Amino acid sequence: MIGRKLVERLAKDGGMEELLLHDVVPPQAPAGARVKVRAVTSDLSTPGEAEKLVNARPDLIFHLAAIVSGEAEADFEKGYRINLDGTQRLFEAIRKVGEGYQPRVVFTSSIAVFGAPFPEAIDDQFLNAPLTSYGTQKAIGELLLSDYSRRGFFDGIGLRLPTICVRPGKPNRAASGFFSGIIREPLAGHEALLPVPRSVRHWFASPRAAIGFLLHAARLDTARLGARRNLSMPGISATVGEQIESLRKVAGDQAVRLIREEPDATIMRIVEGWPRNFAPRRALELGFRADSSFEEIIRIHIEDELGPRRA
């Protein structure tokens, strides 16, 4: 989803020779692109595929691919194969080009690299102690990104994205899906299930803010990063209760009434291990900017996804 929105934005902005899209399912070319677009479908974890992609020596690589948290937890081998082996193969393919090739690599990590117990707000020196296989795979990707960058094989930057909210489209298998569902579904007039108590606090960014992070990372002077190439992105810390009150302000009681509480112990156990709040000082100093409130996050969803229908 972030990939699709990023591609739409890059295609619209132009300013590049070619946009090479890659996914394990056929990537959708953006409508009205102002640049040449080429789409490749393959499994990055298959030997040789990463080399083919890197053959064209792109100057800028966004590596967003991932099996989501719920699926990586349900299928141990698949999670490691796609999230870890796939990333390693891409990094190795870039390294092996040699000849001074040193692209900018923007890697999307996740706040799932952190695990409870947490301080009040997670700062830039807090340890990565993930409590999911997904978080482990992302944390390893971060370490590889830093080492490959330090050795000069590429110029990497890793972004720990907050949970993206409101995620458009259909629910995916991410355990975090309900954080978007309880906003998106009621706004569309559908019922949404809430599997956790309203006291659960979490860390959010809109898709629009996330695209902003990625574009900023692509342009940033990485000399300012030093050896620590991975950054926790700014976001909005809100409880589920605060999410719901924001929904009420934007869309009224009839929307809120569509949220049905249906506790799910498995999701609760996963979510309990997730971060609630951050003090992302480095990212703010480097110019990354978050949404201003959870209400704004909802309004962005309405503008960007529901705009025409509600106009």
Please list, in sequence order, all residues whose beta carbon lies within 8 angstroms of the beta carbon of residue 176, skipping any fewer than 6 positions away: 69, 163, 202, 271, 274
The reply on whether position 286 binds its own copies by CB under 8 A is no
Output the six-digit token pair for 97.
């080009």
The reply on whether position 196 binds its own copies by CB under 8 A is no
Stretch in the footprint of its own copies (CB under 8 A) among 17-25, 123-131, 196-204, 302-310? 123-131
Stretch in the footprint of its own copies (CB under 8 A) among 20-28, 120-128, 164-172, 233-241? 120-128
Stretch in the footprint of its own copies (CB under 8 A) among 147-155, 234-242, 252-260, 287-295? 147-155
Cα–Cα dist 155/101, whole Å: 10
- Does residue 263 have a cis bond before it (omega within 30 degrees)? no
Q: How many residues bind its own copies (CB under 8 A)?
A: 24
Cα–Cα dist 137/243, whole Å: 29
> DSSP label at 278?
B
> How many other C-beta atoms can be found within 10 angstroms of the C-beta atom of residue 101?
15
**Binder of its own copies out of 40, 129, 267, 279 (CB under 8 A):** 129
Please list, in sequence order, all residues whose beta carbon lies within 8 angstroms of the beta carbon of residue 121, skipping any fewer than 6 positions away: 237, 277, 278, 279
Task: Pick the closer one to its own copies by CB: 27 or 79.
Answer: 79
* Rounded least distance, CB 226 to its own copies, Å: 9
Q: Reply yes or no on whether 148 is catalytic.
A: no
Task: Pick the closer one to its own copies by CB: 101 or 126.
Answer: 126
- Binding site residues, its own copies, CB under 8 A: 76, 115, 119, 124-131, 133, 136, 139-140, 143-144, 146-147, 150-151, 227-228, 273
The set of catalytic residues is 134
